[in-house]
Amino acid sequence: MSREQINQLIQAQKQYFADGHTRDITKRQQALYTLIDAIQQHEAAIVQALQLDLRKSETEAYVTEIGFTLAEARHLAKRLARWAKPRKVKTALTHIGSRGMIVPEPYGTTLIIAPWNYPFQLALAPLIGAIAAGNTAVLKPSEWTPHTSAVLSTIIRDCFDPRYVAVVEGAVETSQTLLELPFDYIFFTGSVGVGKKVMEAAAKRLIPLTLELGGKSPCIVHHDADIQLAARRIAFGKWTNAGQTCVAPDYIYVHHTRREALVQALREAVVSFYGEKPLESDLYPSIVSNQHLARLTTFLDEGRIAWGGHVDAVNRRMEPTVLIDMDWTMNIMDEEIFGPLLPVLTYEHLDEVIHAVRNRPKPLALYLFTTDRDVQHNIVEQLSFGGGCVNDTLMHLATPYLPFGGVGESGTGRYHGKYSFDTFSHNKAVLYQTTAFDLPLRYPGVKNGLRWMKKLLR
């Protein structure tokens, strides 16, 4: 699609929005149910596309992409009528006779730029919020997962008038073109580096935005943790999608007395998930591109491989791998791994972990394994992170009742459930003033006006 065609599409969406086609609550709900039906009808095609792009198994494709998206759409469709109602707020003493209301309103025409690691879910989950809030939307899927992008295009084309929702496919140049155009809101999911460019482009037009980025998410395993249970849950969080998950545990800090037990338990968990040879398992995904695999391979020379480390370059696969004898001077500890490599560091005192995490950019997620309530409180209270779990991994993003988003370099804004509706809505403040009487105290020249105003404002 040329720049002129994209610009015409956006102008058509702006007119569609201005004409009021997206405002009716019932129509928004119907749009979400139409999307739900289309996803169910295309389920086999979605699974096949994810298999071709990332070698995801049918189970992983459903649990992390299709099922998640369906649950999100149903959750919002059932509740958006209540969320969209204007809300009355308290009346201040100085405003006697008036009525204050908060009126949620859509921004207008929105841009959603999706990543490649969960190319179906991370494209449609924000779109669901945009539709629920009453916006039009242009969806830009990732060029790194072309089969999934094609299925998304088909689904959206079957469901929506392009003046309402449209997919624009293309590479980096297409994203750059889109970012130069007058959207009313931008929602971006991707790397920190690209997120900075998106924010810079939005700043030129003062376009509000949400950035869902990433970073190095720590996993802390205290000496009192149930090692077998912790290992299973860490292994699930780390090696789902071959580690290509923005909230995957990026590295482990384990108490020095439990390192050997944890490393062994992680190995046992991987064998129980994928067998003795994960590279031959139909349940274990591949790396998205040769370029990404080559980058991950360079990290294998750092530290010491406790187990794993084998690579199948032909099929773009890398074994789940644990690295030990690590330190913060190594390259792998300087950037988000986004792959199946898991460095393990040790600590003696918890203050060492707190100091190390505090001295680095705020992570998108943090995970802690301990039964000590004081330790749980200490870590949650002292460390800043987007979201996380105590005695689990990943599962905080699977509930629509918790907001998902980053802080600092790991992102800005939040979504999922009602937070998606709120993200794509502007809360308009409206004061309805009475005409039955008029308190004169605010006007110049009123006798003793200042004295009475001071009393009221106290």
pLDDT in tens, the chain (458 residues): 889 999 999 999 999 999 999 999 999 999 999 999 999 999 999 999 999 999 999 999 999 999 999 999 999 999 999 999 999 999 988 888 999 999 999 999 999 999 999 999 999 999 999 999 999 999 999 999 999 999 999 999 999 999 999 999 999 999 999 999 999 999 999 999 999 999 999 999 999 999 999 999 999 999 999 999 999 999 999 999 999 999 999 999 999 999 999 999 999 999 999 999 999 999 999 999 999 999 999 999 999 999 999 999 999 999 999 999 999 999 999 999 999 999 999 999 999 999 999 999 999 999 999 999 999 999 999 999 999 999 999 999 999 999 999 999 999 999 999 999 999 999 999 999 999 998 887 788 877 777 777 777 77
| pLDDT of the residue at 269 | 98
DSSP annotation of 415 reads B
| pLDDT of the residue at 120 | 98
One-letter amino acid for residue 371 of the chain: T
For 88, the token pair is: 């009355």
DSSP secondary structure letters along 385-400: -SEEEES-SSGGGG-T
**Four-residue CA torsion sign, 438, 86, 416, 253:** positive
| pLDDT of the residue at 458 | 74
Q: What does DSSP say about strands 365-369 and 425-432: parallel, antiparallel, or unpaired?
A: unpaired
Condensed to tens digits (0 to 9), the pLDDT of residues 103-135 reads: 999 999 999 999 999 999 999 999 999 999 999
User: What ranges make up the beta strands (E) of 256-335?
Assistant: 304-307, 311-312, 317-318, 321-324
In the chain, which segments carry CATH 3.40.605.10? Answer: 3-213+411-430
CATH of 218-398, one of 3.40.50.970, 3.40.309.10, 3.30.365.10, 2.60.40.10: 3.40.309.10
| pLDDT of the residue at 234 | 98
Cα 142 to Cα 175: distance, rounded to the nearest angstrom = 10
Chain center to CA of 48: 24
Q: 171, exposed or middle or buried, with CB in 10 Å at 0-12, 13-18, 19+?
A: exposed
Cα 235 to Cα 134: distance, rounded to the nearest angstrom = 39
One-letter amino acid for residue 233 of the chain: R
DSSP secondary structure letters along 141-187: --TTSHHHHHHHHHHHHHHS-TTTEEE----HHHHHHHHTS--SEEE
Q: 175, exposed or middle or buried, with CB in 10 Å at 0-12, 13-18, 19+?
A: buried
**Placement of tokens 């149910």 in the chain:** 33
What contacts 24+ positions apart, CB below 8 Å, involve 173-180? 174/1, 174/6, 174/140, 175/113, 175/140, 176/201, 177/3, 177/6, 178/6, 178/111, 178/113, 178/138, 178/140, 179/111
Q: What angle do CA 127, 133, 137 make, to 5 degrees?
A: 40
| pLDDT of the residue at 202 | 97
One-letter amino acid for residue 31 of the chain: A
For 7, the token pair is: 């610009």
Annotate 258-296 with b (16+ C-beta within 10 A) or e (fewer). Answer: bbebbbbbbbebbeebbeeebbebeebbbbbeeebbeeb
For 135, the token pair is: 């916006």
Q: Is 356 strand, coil or helix?
A: helix
CATH classification code of 3-213+411-430? 3.40.605.10
Q: Residues with catalytic annotation?
A: 212, 246
Cα 148 to Cα 47: distance, rounded to the nearest angstrom = 9
Cα 157 to Cα 135: distance, rounded to the nearest angstrom = 17
One-letter amino acid for residue 68 of the chain: F
